[in-house]
Amino acid sequence: MYSRESEDRFARAHQQMIRRDLMGRGITDSVVLGVMDEVRREEFVLDEYQSQAYADGPLPIGMGQTISQPYIVALMTQELQLDPDCEVLEIGTGSGYQTAVLSKLAKKVYTIERIGQLAESAQAVLGRLGVDNVEFYIGDGSCGWPQQRCFDRIIITAAVPKIPLPLIEQLKDGGLLVGPVGYAGVQELVVCEKKNGKITERLICDVRFVKLLGKFSFEQ
Ligand code: SAH
């Protein structure tokens, strides 16, 4: 529960974020902009960072991890070209902010987080917000979803040295995968398309993400 005054402050900062940080940088998809407007980032930010909930950057969420910059969340979502029939696999639940955005645009989101405490907290926030089309799994997302299953879209929200093979295998033909590829420090945001079993890659921009630690990614 927030006071009237802080509600107003959040609302102003939220609108400024949409106009300046998203529209001002080329987020043009009106459906994505609508969802970025609908999902309130303050719900996913720790108490001590509430005043920076709409700041133009990532913020700590504990356990050495971060909630992504709103622009990057919007950009990756726009690149995924979601439709309401899509089943999406997300690797790196973190705070659940990106998960919430995806859940409004897809049929179902399957999300994997390595750190149990973060997964549980994200699940609690999404439950409180009434989001009911997300399945959570605690484990190593570099190995893909634990059951055999293929996805229309895959989003990796932590840096990988290369796209983990199990994720390429779990991407449907005709599907898209978005994620940061590179080494600690700076990575390239990559969109992969699978067509007739073959992967083509498109580079979007430089990004900075925490590392994905796992069997098919960086060593733990
Ligand atoms: N999109 C999230 C940010 C996630 S940060 C948000 O906006 O809040 C990246 C997350 O990936 C971290 O929570 C980290 O714990 C998680 N992670 C790292 N390695 C992982 C792995 N192998 N499998 C699943 N999650 C992993």
213 Cα nearest atom in ligand 1 = 19
**What was the pLDDT predicted at 7?**
87
Percent of the chain with pLDDT over 70: 100
Q: Is residue 219 part of a domain?
A: no
Task: Choose, from 30, 68, 121, 142, the residue flagged as catalytic.
Answer: 68
- In the predicted model, is pLDDT for residue 95 greater than 80? yes
- In the predicted model, is pLDDT for residue 200 greater than 90? yes
**What was the pLDDT predicted at 5?**
83
Percent of the chain with pLDDT over 90: 95
Tell me how far the alpha carbon of residue 62 lies from the centroid of ligand 1, in angstroms. 12
Tell me how far the alpha carbon of residue 68 lies from the centroid of ligand 1, in angstroms. 10
**Closest protein CA for atom 11 of ligand 1:** 92
Give the pLDDT band of residue 185 (cuts 50, 70, 90): confident
Which whole number is the average pLDDT over 175-199? 96
94 Cα nearest atom in ligand 1 = 13
- In the predicted model, is pLDDT for residue 108 greater than 80? yes
Is 79 or 5 the better-scoring residue by pLDDT? Answer: 79
The answer to whether 98 and 80 have CB atoms below 8 angstroms apart is no
Q: Is residue 214 part of a domain?
A: no
The answer to whether 104 and 129 have CB atoms below 8 angstroms apart is no
Q: Is residue 218 part of a domain?
A: no
* Cα first-last separation, the chain: 38
Instruction: Give the span between the Cα atoms of 60 and 132, in whole angstroms.
Output: 26
The Cα-based distances of 83 to 52, 107, 168 in angstroms read 31, 8, 20
**What was the pLDDT predicted at 6?**
85
Q: Is the CB of 214 under 6 A from ligand 1?
A: yes
Residue with tokens 């980032």: 41
Q: Is the CB of 155 under 6 A from ligand 1?
A: no
Helix (H, G, I), strand (E, B) or coil at 211: strand
Give the pLDDT band of residue 212 (cuts 50, 70, 90): very high
Angle between the 30-38 and 70-80 helix axes, to the nearest 10 degrees?
Answer: 140
Tell me how far the alpha carbon of residue 92 lies from the centroid of ligand 1, in angstroms. 3
**What was the pLDDT predicted at 3?**
85
Q: Is residue 173 classed exposed, middle or buried when 0-12, 13-18 and 19+ CB atoms within 10 A define those classes?
A: exposed
Convert the pLDDT of each residue in 15-74 to its tens digit. 999 999 999 999 999 999 999 999 999 999 999 999 999 999 999 999 999 999 999 999
Which whole number is the average pLDDT over 130-148? 97
Largest Cα–Cα separation, the chain: 55
Instruction: Give the span between the Cα atoms of 13 and 83, in whole angstroms.
Output: 29
Instruction: Give the span between the Cα atoms of 168 and 176, in whole angstroms.
Output: 10
Q: Is the CB of 210 under 6 A from ligand 1?
A: yes
Instruction: Give the span between the Cα atoms of 112 and 165, in whole angstroms.
Output: 16
118 Cα nearest atom in ligand 1 = 13
**What was the pLDDT predicted at 49?**
97
Q: Is residue 89 part of a domain?
A: yes
Instruction: Tell me the best of 67, 210, 215, 220 to mutate to test the pocket of ligand 1, counting ligand atoms within 8 Å of each CB and taking the most.
Output: 210
174: domain range? 4-207
Q: Is residue 213 part of a domain?
A: no
Number of domains in the chain: 1
Helices (H), the chain: 4-16, 30-38, 70-80, 97-103, 116-128, 165-169
Q: Is the CB of 71 under 6 A from ligand 1?
A: no
**Closest protein CA for atom 4 of ligand 1:** 94
The answer to whether 143 and 212 have CB atoms below 8 angstroms apart is no
217 included as an active-site residue: no
- In the predicted model, is pLDDT for residue 1 greater than 80? no
Q: Is the CB of 17 under 6 A from ligand 1?
A: no
Whichever domain contains 197, its CATH number is 3.40.50.150
Which whole number is the average pLDDT over 75-100? 98
Which whole number is the average pLDDT over 115-119? 98
Q: What is the DSSP string of 148-204?
A: S--EEEEEE-SBBSS--HHHHHTEEEEEEEEEEEESSS-EEEEEEEEETTEEEEEEE
